[in-house]
Amino acid sequence: MSDKLVITGTFLGAMATETVGQNNFLVRKFYLDVTTNPEWPSTPEFKLKGDKVNLVDNLQKGQTIEVSFNIDGRKYDNTDKGGRKGVITELIAWKIQTVNKQSAVAATRPAPAPAPAVPPVQAPSRPAPAATATVPAGFEGEDNDLPF
């Protein structure tokens, strides 16, 4: 199991900081565009908790960022109260770094190999004469029926 999850995408914006629970715990949501196919947009929601809620304060919409995060999942069962059961999954960000777009592209794409030097090929100056069909002796005038 990996303990280091990192994703790079475009910062779309953040919600206001909220306080939850009896201890007034700070929580803030933000969204990242990680779409690789325009037909299937991918914009996961991440959460910042506690002292990490300020990590998105200085980010601008459209900025490329790298998010280090953990996956947190909890089961719940409210069937005894007429509800349902399931799992709540959250992506909890703990580190955000801005990424220079040019360096991110260069890091993911290898440099192209230089093209080999090939001398130019000259086209023939005139077309070759058409070949004439020659029929072997003894076969003139036959209908070329095969015996099998």
56-93 pLDDT, tens digit per residue, is 999 999 999 999 999 999 999 999 999 999 999 999 99
pTM, 2 dp: 0.64
Residue 23 CB neighbours (<10 A) = 7
Q: Six-digit token pair at 45?
A: 């929601």
- In CATH terms, 5-108 corresponds, of 3.40.50.300, 2.60.120.10, 2.40.50.140, 3.10.450.50, to 2.40.50.140
Domain boundaries, the chain: 5-108
- How many other C-beta atoms lie within 10 A of the C-beta of residue 39? 5
- Local structure of residue 104 (DSSP, 8 states): H
Per-residue model confidence as pLDDT tens digits over 105-138: 444 455 555 555 555 556 555 655 555 555 555 5
